[in-house]
């Protein structure tokens, strides 16, 4: 059985899929452009693996953060955190805004008359892999009857999940960023898979995190991956937690970074708002 669940957003069980065309186009349905996960040795070739089976329990693990963009559900699930959003306002999705500690993946922004009224920061985090998924990917392609290099198919190289590094990295990054959001009275949402949340709860101090409260600046939205009747998979919100700067610090025991004024973030958001960022469910 192949450990590849999805390739270029298509279910590995989709027998009627035109796989030759899928591999040729290398298109990511979630980004609506060519998949940006490419081989270092062959940058013109996209890897395209969205999710895999891993471990003795064959858990479905998302390994590409853009897989979370399915149906734009993660943004819909954050609308309630826009306290200043009103009927008639536009919703925009703006990527990559810099704040102290790094950049935030996406902002869900409420806009009226081209002016920002409110916003929510959204960070995506899937598990980082160790080793390489490429041989497993090529074995799947080979099973479809499509030509691949023999050395790829017979390679003994495999992949693992870097649970510890992924967890520690995202918590440190959150700690650097959440104080900014708390200072300006806005929300930051971490979007992760249920398996990663379970690991965080087991390995770090998470007992103080409560069921989600709108008043908390830091929210965690955990998604599970469910198999539909068609054989394809879809993400579903499974749990919501929240805390504040002190809560993240309690998990790590680190010092927070400097604040960033509200006007600075708003200026960046308004400079990027356009018809291309307008929120729509695809």
Question: What is the pTM (predicted TM-score) of this model?
Answer: 0.89
pLDDT per residue of the chain (282 residues) written in tens, 0 to 9: 689 999 999 999 887 899 999 999 999 999 999 999 999 889 999 999 999 999 888 999 999 999 999 999 999 999 999 999 999 999 999 999 998 778 999 999 999 999 999 999 999 999 999 999 999 999 999 999 998 888 888 998 999 999 999 998 898 888 889 989 999 999 999 999 999 999 999 888 888 888 999 999 999 999 999 988 777 899 999 999 999 888 887 777 433 344 555 677 788 888 889 988 999 876
Residues 272 and 193 both lie in one domain:
yes
Supply the pLDDT for residue 57: 86
Residues 223 and 233 both lie in one domain:
yes
Residues 167 and 218 both lie in one domain:
yes
Residues 33 and 108 both lie in one domain:
no
Which pair of structure tokens corresponds to residue 273? Answer: 């708002």
Residues 6+ away with beta carbon under 8 Å from 222: 192, 193, 194, 196, 197, 237, 238, 239, 240, 241
- Distances 95 to 88, 237, 253 between C-alpha atoms, Å: 23, 22, 30
Buried b (16+ CB within 10 A) or exposed e, 248-266: bbbbeeeebbeebeeeebb
| Degrees to nearest 5, angle at CA 87 with 96 and 278 | 30
Supply the pLDDT for residue 86: 96
Residues 231 and 98 both lie in one domain:
yes
Residues 221 and 261 both lie in one domain:
yes
Q: What is the DSSP string of 99-138?
A: ETTEEEEEEEEEEETTEEEEEEEEEE--PPEEE-SHHHHH
Residues 85 and 147 both lie in one domain:
no
Picking from 176, 63, 73, 79, the residue whose alpha carbon sits closest to that of residue 125 is 63
Residues 51 and 103 both lie in one domain:
no
Domains in the chain, number: 2
Domain interval for residue 43: 1-63+128-160
Residues 146 and 201 both lie in one domain:
no
Looking only at the bridges linking them, the beta strands covering 187-193 and 218-227 are: parallel
Residues 179 and 225 both lie in one domain:
yes
Residues 79 and 179 both lie in one domain:
yes
- Distances 140 to 38, 82, 242 between C-alpha atoms, Å: 17, 43, 40
Which pair of structure tokens corresponds to residue 153? Answer: 């198919």
Residues 180 and 235 both lie in one domain:
yes
Picking from 73, 67, 74, 71, the residue whose alpha carbon sits closest to that of residue 9 is 67
State the Cα–Cα distance between residues 24 and 16, nearest whole angstrom.
16
Judged by DSSP in three states, 148 sits in: coil
């Amino acid at each position: 059985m192949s450990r590849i669940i999805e390739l270029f957003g298509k279910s590995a069980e989709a027998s009627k899929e035109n796989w030759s065309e899928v591999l040729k186009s290398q298109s990511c349905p979630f980004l609506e452009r060519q998949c940006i996960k490419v081989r270092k040795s062959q940058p013109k070739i996209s890897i395209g693996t969205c999710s895999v089976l891993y471990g003795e329990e064959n858990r479905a693990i998302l390994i590409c953060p853009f897989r979370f963009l399915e149906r734009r559900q993660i943004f819909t699930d954050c609308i309630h955190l826009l306290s200043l959003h009103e009927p008639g306002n536009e919703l925009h999705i703006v990527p990559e805004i810099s704040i102290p500690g790094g950049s935030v993946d996406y902002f869900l922004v409420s806009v009226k008359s081209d002016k920002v009224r409110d916003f929510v920061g959204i960070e995506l985090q899937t598990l980082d892999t160790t080793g390489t998924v490429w041989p497993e990917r090529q074995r799947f392609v080979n099973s479809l009857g499509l030509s691949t290099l023999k050395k790829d198919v017979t390679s003994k190289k495999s992949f693992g999940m870097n649970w510890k590094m992924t967890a520690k990295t995202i918590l440190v990054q959150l700690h650097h960023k959440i104080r900014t959001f708390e200072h300006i009275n806005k929300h930051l949402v971490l979007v992760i898979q249920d398996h990663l949340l379970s690991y965080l709860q087991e390995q770090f101090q998470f007992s103080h995190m409560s069921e989600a409260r709108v008043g908390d600046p830091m929210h965690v939205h955990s998604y599970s991956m469910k198999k539909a009747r068609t054989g394809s998979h879809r993400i579903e919100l499974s749990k919501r937690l929240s805390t504040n700067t002190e809560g993240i610090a309690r998990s790590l025991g680190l010092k927070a970074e400097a604040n960033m004024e509200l006007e600075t973030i708003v200026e960046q958001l308004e400079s990027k708002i356009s018809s291309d960022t307008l929120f729509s469910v695809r």
